[in-house]
Structure 1
Amino acid sequence: MGHREDLLEGAKRCLLAKGFVRTTARDIVKESGTNLASIGYHYGSKDALLAQAYVAMVEDMSELFDGEVRGEFGSLERFASVWSNIIGTMREPGSMWRLSMEIVAMGDQLPVVRDHLARAQREGSRGFVAMFTGVPEEDQPDELIDTLGSFYTTLMMGLMAQWTFDPGTAPEAGQLTEGLRRTIEGAVATDGAP
């Protein structure tokens, strides 16, 4: 592994151990066995490196979301199965979702990081659409990402907040699925009503 990869792996470990705000460039250098100049050379800044490390961690987590998924694309069974996998990652000790909430809360303080993560969030929305519908990421029109992808991303953000704040009362996949089922029933019942 070269300095670039060593820095990225060291930054991931620092993020999980200390969070975004408390991680220093020296922490990353110590954890990665590199030097301070390498951060600027390979990533431009400590914050850019940490943002890239965070995005890589989220991408690694997305593989766990796909796990054992049941149900046809678009079905309530698939909806429950995928959210069950996602929620399973939130239960784990040292879950990175607390880190996610820290990053969301401090977005305005780090505009470069926020912009980098906003672009990554859009790609995350594409991934959600593919998981739930089976529409390959490269075939998704912007309208689908801006509607259905945004819907799934909003659910994810809400779950992260609830599981971080109070895991004891945070919803399970079955509760989310029942809520969606009731929403669909209500929409169908009132469709065409004056």
Structure 2
Amino acid sequence: MGHREDLLEGAKRCLLQKGFLRTTARDIVKESGTNLASIGYHYGSKDALLVQAYVSLIESVGERFDPAFGAEFSRPAGSLERFQEVWTTIIRTVPESRAVWLLSFELMFQDDRLGDVRKLLAEAQKEGRSGLVALFAGIPEADVDDEAAETQGRFYMTLLNGLMVQWLFDPDSATTAEQLTEGLRRVLDGVGKS
């Protein structure tokens, strides 16, 4: 590995151990075995490096949801059964990815202290929404159009963030995939009845 990769791996370890706000450039250098100048040369700034490390961590969590990485979905795309199957897979990853989700919520609640970082992360969320649509629809992410990402993707992202809050706060009382699916079924059954 070169300095660029060493920095990224060191930054990921720092994020998981210390979080975003407490990680310093010196922490990253110590963890990666590189030097301070390498951060600026390869990433421009410590914050840009940490954003890239965070995105990489989130992508690795997201890969666990993907059938190409072992998650097998047998139910037809677009069905309530598929909806439940995908959420079951996502929820199953929570214990092993807990530190990443905690980091996500640390970043969400920083107000303007991380303004530039939040802008970079907002761009990464667009990709996350597309990835979720592709997962539920059973299509390649490249086939997800902007409208689907901006509507269905936002719906799935909202559900995902809400579920993660519950699972991080109290796993014993958190919503299950079965409960989420039954709730959606009831909402759909009620549409048009009034």
Give me the TM-score of the superposition, normalised by structure 1: 0.92
Corresponding position of 2:164: 160
Corresponding position of 2:140: 136
- Is 1:122 aligned with 2:126? yes
Corresponding position of 2:92: 88
Give me the TM-score of the superposition, normalised by structure 2: 0.92
Corresponding position of 2:77: 73
* 3-state secondary structure, aligned to 2:189: helix
Question: Considering only aligned residues, what root-mean-square deviation do their CA atoms show, in Å?
Answer: 1.4
2:12–2:53 Cα contact (<8 Å) kept: yes
1:80–1:173 Cα contact (<8 Å) kept: yes
Q: How does 1:1-194 map to 2 (within 5 A)?
A: 1-66=1-66, 67-92=71-96, 94-190=98-194
Report which stretch shifted further, 130-139 or 15-24. Answer: 130-139
Q: Deviations over 1:10-47 (max 9, x none)?
A: 11111111111111111111111100111111111111
Measure the CA separation in 2 of the matches of 1:32 and 1:9: 7
Match of 1:22, as an amino acid?
A: R
* Moved segments of 4+, more than 3 Å: none
Q: CA deviation at 1:165?
A: 2.2
2:98–2:168 Cα contact (<8 Å) kept: no
Q: CA deviation at 1:107?
A: 4.6
Q: Deviations over 1:135-172 (max 9, x none)?
A: 43223222111110110011111112222222222111
2:8–2:53 Cα contact (<8 Å) kept: yes
Measure the CA separation in 1 of the matches of 2:111 and 2:58: 17
1:9–1:32 Cα contact (<8 Å) kept: yes
1:70–1:77 Cα contact (<8 Å) kept: no
Match of 1:154, as an amino acid?
A: T
* 3-state secondary structure, aligned to 2:5: helix
Match of 1:120, as an amino acid?
A: A
Match of 2:142, as an amino acid?
A: E
**Aligned residues, how many?**
190
Q: Deviations over 1:105-155 (max 9, x none)?
A: 115211111111111101110001101012432232221111101100111
* 3-state secondary structure, aligned to 1:65: coil
1:15–1:50 Cα contact (<8 Å) kept: yes
2:51–2:117 Cα contact (<8 Å) kept: yes
Report which stretch shifted further, 74-83 or 165-174. Answer: 165-174
Match of 1:182, as an amino acid?
A: R
Match of 2:104, as an amino acid?
A: S
